[in-house]
Chain A
Amino acid sequence: AQSVTQLGSHVSVSEGALVLLRCNYSSSVPPYLFWYVQYPNQGLQLLLKYTSAATLVKGINGFEAEFKKSETSFHLTKPSAHMSDAAEYFCAVTAASYDKVIFGPGTSLSVIP
């Protein structure tokens, strides 16, 4: 079975500072991993996905994530935070094929001017 943990339910960064949102996964098979973003009163939007190709994955809005098998991690980063990045971020995992996607509890990102 797959599961996801996200360290820190709330993260605050200053505008222009590095954004680091942590995600660790558990999977009995090589996983497919995702980051989604949810803005207030909206649905989730796919930021990026890892599907066993390059371990460093680039997504939309300047975000990227690195798959580290030895650490079972898939942390999300952005070099310079922007006010518009304030949102809820969800890490997710699936074992591919017909399996469902399991979402982590989410991390709320605040950006301080």
Chain B
Amino acid sequence: DSGVTQTPKHLITATGQRVTLRCSPRSGDLSVYWYQQSLDQGLQFLIQYYNGEERAKGNILERFSAQQFPDLHSELNLSSLELGDSALYFCASSPRQGADGYTFGSGTRLTVV
């Protein structure tokens, strides 16, 4: 157990639907990062939050949004889902910034049918 908790582990949904992925960072970590992993794109950075504030954005689609709450857990919202959104979504956390190295959760496998 890495200390980063992601729920749900698996999610199957239909095109056009909306889902929410949840991440609880390791105790004491202030930064949360979301990554998408697919066979053709590899590991793509989506977005970073630090202590509730958005700090960096990567290749995140407009249909996707995220937030970090006062208790530091984070949610990634994916809407108007398309088949191509099927992927593993990882959350990672670190004490402060990227230079600390990340602790990853075990991921949420999203399948859009």
How many residues of chain B get a CB closer than 8 Å to chain A's CBs? 24
Residues from 26 to 83 in B contacting A, C-beta threshold 8 Å? 33, 35, 42-43, 45, 48, 50, 55-56, 58
**Stretch of A20-28, A61-69, A94-102 contacting B (4+ beta carbons < 8 Å):** A94-102
Residues from 76 to 113 in A contacting B, C-beta threshold 8 Å? 90, 94, 96-106
Minimum CB distance partner of A94 in chain B:
B98
Partner of B99, one of A45, A96, A104, A106: A96
Question: Are A42 and B106 in contact (CB-based, < 8 A)?
Answer: yes
A42 to B42, CA, bound (A): 15
Residues from 31 to 49 in A contacting B, C-beta threshold 8 Å? 32, 34, 36, 41-46, 49
A68 to B13, CA, bound (A): 47
How big is chain A's contact interface, by range?
Answer: 20 to 34
CB distance from B5 to the nearest CB of A (A): 11
Residues of B within 8 A of A99 (CB): 56, 97-98
Asked if A90 meets B43 with Cβ closer than 8 Å, knowing A42-B106, A98-B56, A101-B33, the reply is yes
Minimum CB distance partner of A97 in chain B:
B97
In the complex, the number of residue pairs spanning A and B with C-beta atoms less than 8 Å apart equals 64
Question: Are A49 and B101 in contact (CB-based, < 8 A)?
Answer: yes
A97 to B96, CA, bound (A): 9
A51 to B55, CA, bound (A): 21
Residues of A within 8 A of B35 (CB): 103
B103 contacts the other chain (CB 8 A): yes
Question: Are A43 and B97 in contact (CB-based, < 8 A)?
Answer: no
A97 to B48, CA, bound (A): 13
CB distance from B31 to the nearest CB of A (A): 9
B25 contacts the other chain (CB 8 A): no
A100 to B101, CA, bound (A): 10
A-binding residues in B (CB < 8 A):
2, 4, 33, 35, 42-43, 45, 48, 50, 55-56, 58, 90, 92, 97-99, 101-107
**12 interchain pairs, CB-CB under 8 A:** A32-B98, A43-B4, A44-B90, A49-B101, A94-B99, A97-B97, A98-B50, A98-B55, A99-B56, A99-B97, A105-B42, A106-B42
